[in-house]
Amino acid sequence: MHSGTRGGGILVYLTLTGWGIGMIQSYGGVAAMIRVSTPEIPVVGIRPHLIERRASDVLAAFPGDVLYAVKCNDHPVVLRALFDAGVRHFDTASIKEIRLVRGLFPEAACHFMHPVKSLEAIAEAYFAHGVRRYVLDHPRELDKIVAATGAAEDLELFVRVAVPGDGALLTLTGKFGATVEESIALLRQCKTVARSTGVTFHVGSQCLAPQAFERAIGIVAGIIDEVGGIDHLDVGGGFPAAYTGDEPPFEAFVAAILRAVGEHGLTCGLQCEPGRLLVADGASVFARVELRRGQALYLNDGVYGNLAELKWVGPQFPTRALGVHGPRGGRQVSFDLFGPTCDSIDSMPGPHWLAADVADGDWIEVGMMGAYSCALRTDFNGFAAAHTVLLDDEAWYDVTRLGTDRLACAA
């Protein structure tokens, strides 16, 4: 629940995670924020209108249920923006995420999509929160679900199938997922106890190849055929955010999914679990330059704070330098970035393109940081704190042109 003013003022929101009331300052834009706010700690600026816009587009383009992967960013303002856009299903992986979503939106559906759960979490999800949809990839997990729910007769059980992750920047292979033979055996077992059954897979995060979904659907189609059909096909997450503008659009993935579904004659209901795609462009991180040493900038935020993705995804996020008078223009040159902790892992090698005259005390705005980065923040080495604000402006970059701009800068 949130209420309050937009375009400058305080926004009050209620989060039921801790039964507390949070207050967030709201600004008309980055310029207004910089004029009045000079916090010593990093700032996370959420743009809920961008999240709403993206979610509406995704809901319109996907012919099935869209489950938001809560792990990606569980800030109540982010969840509210998604709900306001029409998202009513949530991929929850822990009991804490389920409590959060059910507390904020009692009418929304949570689906417990983690293949390994505690008995206590399954029981609370089923009896206290009405969760009926569970994922598993091992026969003992099936035993746990049956036992913890008192052999419930209304379970909807999904088997997670292992699929290749080669189209993705961040592969998720090797930890979860049953082989084809295991999946067939598991689904047969599920069919004896469940009200409905499904399969799910994840091709890896920031997947740049729509064909990866076609290939994965080809794998699960064989399984579905072998067990005589199922009720639901969950194609997972992995759809890319447009960090550079060169990524295939969501519509290309939907077309590939529908092509494969048609080719294999699948008639089950469809669902997907996007995280990154829905929220990446909904937040910027503002980090202050504490020291410039040549082409190296030492920031007050880094890999252990809000900028982990700058290391793990790489230097492809839109960046700009903000001086006291606003954005610095002029010639763009490449920088390496370093975070504030003493650990040398806390480095984010470039090229990060910023104005050549960036100086100590400037803010670096890193755009498209709504996915994972803030969610991964730790307080290692005493540098955790971040100040969260709301921004009503549009992002400054045009993602469709970023790739070309960078080539021009590099020339």
- State the residues that interact with ligand PLP by CB under 6 A: 69, 72, 91, 113, 202, 205, 236-239, 273-277
Beta bridge partners of 14: 21
User: Nearest approach, Cβ of 125 to ligand PLP (angstroms)?
Assistant: 16
Please state the φ and ψ torsions of residue 333, each to the nearest 5 degrees.
-130, 170
Three-class SS state of 111: strand
Closest CA to 126 of 91, 151, 90, 100: 151
- Least distance (Å) from ligand PLP to the CB of residue 205? 3
Least distance CB 114 / ligand PLP (angstroms): 7
Determine the 3-state secondary structure of 332 from DSSP.
strand
**Residue among 42 and 274 whose Cβ is closer to ligand PLP:** 274
The smaller minimum CB distance to ligand PLP, of residues 247 and 273, is found at: 273
CB of 113 to ligand PLP, least distance (A): 5
Cis-peptide into 351, omega within 30 deg: yes
- Both tokens of residue 38? 């000079």
Residue whose CB is less far from ligand PLP, 241 or 322: 241
158 touches 199 (CB < 8 A):
yes
Residue 275 vs 367, nearer CB to ligand PLP: 275
User: Cβ closer to ligand PLP: 273 or 362?
Assistant: 273
Run of H or E including 232: strand 232-234
To 10 degrees, the CA torsion angle through 202, 206, 209, 214?
A: 20
Three-state SS for 52-97 is HHHHHHHHHHCCCEEEEEHHHCCCHHHHHHHHHHCCCEEEECCHHH
Tokens 């509406």 sit on residue: 56
**Closest distance between ligand PLP and the C-beta of residue 372, in Å?**
7
- Provide, rounded to whole angstroms, the least separation between the CB of residue 280 and ligand PLP: 9
Among 391, 372, 378, CA closest to 301: 378
Q: How far apart are CA 306 and CA 340, in angstroms?
A: 11
- Smallest gap from Cβ 91 to ligand PLP, in A, equals 5
Separation of alpha carbons 254 and 252, rounded Å:
6
In the bound complex, what is the minimum distance in angstroms from residue 401's beta carbon to ligand PLP?
Answer: 24
For the bound state, the minimum distance from the C-beta of residue 65 to ligand PLP, rounded and expressed in Å, comes to: 13
- Which residue lies nearer to ligand PLP by CB, 230 or 389? 230
Query: Which letter does DSSP use for residue 196 in this model?
Result: E
46, β-bridge pairs: 283, 390
Query: How many Å is the Cα radius of gyration of the chain?
Result: 22
For the CB of residue 253, give the shortest distance to ligand PLP in the complex, in Å: 11
The residue (of 26 and 373) whose beta carbon lies closer to ligand PLP is: 373
β-strand 156-160 against 196-200: which pairing, if any?
parallel
Distance of CA 87 to the CA centre of its chain: 14
